Amino acid sequence: MPAPPQDAFAYALSSNQAWAGYKGHQNPDFFPKLASGQSPAILWLGCSDSRCPETTILGLQPGDVFVHRNIANIVSPTDINTSAVIEYAVVHLKVKHVVLCGHTACGGAAAALGDGRVGGVLDYWLTPLKALRNAHKEELAAITDDKRRAVRIAELNVEAGVNVLMANAVIQDAIAERGLQVHGTLFDIGSGRIRDLGFGTGKTGQNGVPGTNSNAGDVVRGKHAMLVFRTEGAGMQAR
């Protein structure tokens, strides 16, 4: 008789013990250094989807990324939760980059494109996406492939979110005073790649807004790789 499957939470705790042991053996100073404080270079605003774990897909380490995630990575100017995260990250942690990242195969995008209701608070939360659908009705209707249509509304959602970020007073001050950079991106779950959509302060995309990027670029160093932000785009370099 096969053994019953292990409880997911029990397995997660066991896996944590193994991970902590491995990291501590690999670098004895790793956890004491983490415990001494944080100075992340990136604020990541993303979706709660379990397939989009920011630190993992960026190839970085704990302490490298300050994070806020919600359903469909919606940035609302009236959401005090998101606003508090932005203010703390920009004013107090002084991050160098704010990255808003949508993704392919997004359930929120699919729900916004449908005519039915999800139910409960989710319908209220997805209202901005529904509004985007209505505002771009003709463009979206012309896309016959369902997956491509979902990708397009995800891109439009990132653009709308970046517009909200660029109107945020805290972010505006940081851009003017110390060159904070804002990026709009899309994570392709099928390939594992992040695509810079060109929204925000950079000049990387067709729809980019001229900003303060420099050719030298900023570097976020992880244990096994480093993420380099430049005017012409961001890239990962293995170490």
Q: Is the dihedral of CA 102, 82, 165, 177 positive or negative?
A: negative
Q: Specify whether 52 is catalytic.
A: no
Among 64, 106, 149, 152, the active-site one is 106
Cα–Cα dist 164/140, whole Å: 22
3-state helix/strand/coil string of the chain: CCCCCCCHHHHHHHHHHHHHHHHHHHCCCHHHHHHCCCCCCEEEEEECCCCCCHHHHCCCCCCCEEEEEEHHHCCCCCCHHHHHHHHHHHHHCCCCEEEEEEECCCHHHHHHHCCCCCCCHHHHHCHHHHHHHHHCHHHHHCCCCHHHHHHHHHHHHHHHHHHHHHCCHHHHHHHHHHCCEEEEEEEECCCCEEEEEEEECCCCCCCCCCCCCCCCCEEEECCCEEEEEECCEEEEEEC
Q: Specify whether 51 is catalytic.
A: yes
Cα–Cα dist 232/179, whole Å: 16
Among 7, 51, 123, 148, the active-site one is 51
196: β partners = 185
Among 68, 103, 152, 183, the active-site one is 103
Residues involved in catalysis: 47, 49, 51, 103, 106
